[in-house]
Amino acid sequence: MLLQPRDGHGRPAGQHGQPLLTAQVQSRHDASLSYSGLVRAVGEGRVRELQWSPGSKRVQATFEDGSRQIFAVFEENQSLLQAAEAADVPYDVVDSSQRTAATGLLGNLLMVLLILFGLSFVLRRSARVANRAMGFGRSQPRLRDQGEVTVRLEDVAGINEAKEALQEVVTFLKEPERFTAVGARIPKGVLLVGPPGTGKTLLAKAIAGEAGVPFFSMSASEFVEMFVGVGASRVRDLFRKAKAKAPCIVFIDEIDAVGRQRGAGIGGGNDEREQTLNQLLTEMDGFDENAGVILLAATNRADVLDLALLRPGRFDRQIAVELPDRRGREAILSVHARSRPISPEVSLAQWAKRTPGFSGADLANLLNEAAILTARRQDSAIDDSHLDDALERVTMGLRAAPLQDSAKKRLIGYHEVGHALLTTLLEHADELDKVTLLPRSGGVGGFARMTPNEEVLDSGLVTRAWLRDRMVVAMGGRAAELVVFGPQEITQGASSDIRMVTGIAREMVARYGLSELGPLALERDGGEVFLGRDLLLQRPAYSERTCQAIDAQVQSLAKQSLAQACDLLAARRPLLDALTDELIEAETIEGARFRAVVAAFDQANSGDSKAVAATAPV
């Protein structure tokens, strides 16, 4: 057993007679050393190495146990140097000037880079603002180069007359020499006029796609800005770009935004919209003969356009894009059905018959709603039930919660059956499609839906008999309430019907000359949309006595319609009750079933109407 030497206090002694400490205790002791303590530690041989950095006035001491500590020292450290030399401790001097210089240089370089980045950001932003300010006068048309327009005339259905009228435009763009050889000049501007949703924009794209020429499209509202002169500058820029791409087609949608009659507002000639129109007229006159640039425009308000815009040499050709007829609707449905799974049982011809007055956009929306319902019900194909629900959603709104059996439900039932029964009885009324008590959003408790007379819609001509029957049908709800509940129990449910009857009666008296006042047009079309003209409207062109006569005739027509409706329903009170009971029970009666019940009742001419309703064929 080896014994370690001990000092006078009985503690183990080291080589120099000093107490031995463990690494943990030594580290703690060294960590609390001062400069003088460091000198003593060096002299005692407890320091393995010293590194002095004169630039930072720091000394790093490495002790025997491997721990390190940094001490702040003076510029002159003779005592420390002497102690290190005496104890033979390695002493290194570290030159930190180069490191300090490199660090300073790197910091300065980083500062310069930050300044340059900030300056470049400010300059780029200023340049964008300047370019935007300078670019106010530049037009931003949507350009589709040759071959990029994929729509063709075969993709446009239901407007065959308009397509035929535009065939010569396609021929001119493809073979201009056929026209120039005989001195013919193609119209510079073609104006497409028609109700919204009839396919004017689609037709313009189809012309460009069929001819295979570049297609510029822009809305007229994009020309007008709050800055004076911007609209005229954009018009010039648009035509400059079009001439560079000739032959091409320039399409301006909703041209009535800038093409309204000048001098109609308060601004006068300094109005920005009028300056834009003046520049448009000038550019159209500036076209070279047969330059190959054809301007197409679309509007649904041709009556408000400036006459200078419609004269020969500008928009000298107007093409009406009307609502499609039955065959047109069937063709449109066929086009949209190409991309949708349609059940073989669906007859597009029958649905074309059930949708008179629908535009191409309405028919596309109908099929889209039917497709949505098909997906929600997880069916694989669109059938008649989907289309029927989609038709009700499009025309009447979303379905609401069913009515509970109550006095309100019975009153609404009588109201709707009154409409449905009168439209079935009257010769010139529209055909009943269905009557239902299923409410719709917007406060509609039920409705009787009629299929409009397609002959009237297609021809645009209405007869006095058709108008009178329409007024009687509209009064059917109020008449049913009077017959069943009496004059003290009628409600305001017929308010919209009464407004419609009043409007029809006033049109018959004051515009159509279909009253006892004779063939007099006492009122003009109230379609002015200009603020200046609204402020300067003149008084009616007839006397106060004539005004009283007009009011008397309107009242007479409305009262006659209500009286006729009451007489027809009162004579068929049992049938009215039976149909209302069946409607409350089934909530929906189709038009075919309804007409069968009425026909059976009229044939029997007496008896229990409920028994007749039960035995009537469906």
Pairing of strands 215-219, 58-63: unpaired
- Residue 213 burial (CB < 10 Å; 0-12/13-18/19+)? buried
CA–centroid distance for 333 within its chain: 23
- Asked whether the beta carbons of 193 and 302 are under 8 A apart, the reply is yes
- Asked whether the beta carbons of 615 and 600 are under 8 A apart, the reply is yes
How far, in Å, CA of 454 to CA of 332, rounded? 17
- Asked whether the beta carbons of 569 and 483 are under 8 A apart, the reply is yes
End-to-end CA separation in angstroms for the chain = 123
- Residue 170 burial (CB < 10 Å; 0-12/13-18/19+)? buried
- Cα 585-587-588 angle, rounded to 5 deg: 125
- Asked whether the beta carbons of 218 and 251 are under 8 A apart, the reply is yes
Give 315's DSSP letter. S
Short-list 79, 101, 81, CA closest to 93: 81
How far, in Å, CA of 163 to CA of 424, rounded? 39
How far, in Å, CA of 487 to CA of 283, rounded? 67
Evaluate the CA torsion angle 444, 446, 448, 450 in order and state its sign.
Answer: positive
Give 399's DSSP letter. B
How far, in Å, CA of 136 to CA of 119, rounded? 26
Q: Return the number of other C-beta atoms located less than 10 Å from residue 576's C-beta.
A: 22
How far, in Å, CA of 203 to CA of 164, rounded? 11
How far, in Å, CA of 379 to CA of 385, rounded? 11
- Cα 605-417-554 angle, rounded to 5 deg: 100
Is 92 in a helix, a strand, or coil? strand
How far, in Å, CA of 139 to CA of 125, rounded? 22
How far, in Å, CA of 261 to CA of 263, rounded? 7
How far, in Å, CA of 312 to CA of 310, rounded? 7
Q: Which two tokens stand for residue 100?
A: 């300090």
Q: Which helix (H) or strand (E) holds 38?
A: helix 35-43
Q: Return the number of other C-beta atoms located less than 10 Å from residue 350's C-beta.
A: 12
Q: Return the number of other C-beta atoms located less than 10 Å from residue 403's C-beta.
A: 18
Q: Which two tokens stand for residue 297?
A: 């425009």
Residues known to be catalytic = 416
How far, in Å, CA of 65 to CA of 221, rounded? 86
Q: Which two tokens stand for residue 584?
A: 């409350």
Q: Which helix (H) or strand (E) holds 295?
A: strand 293-299
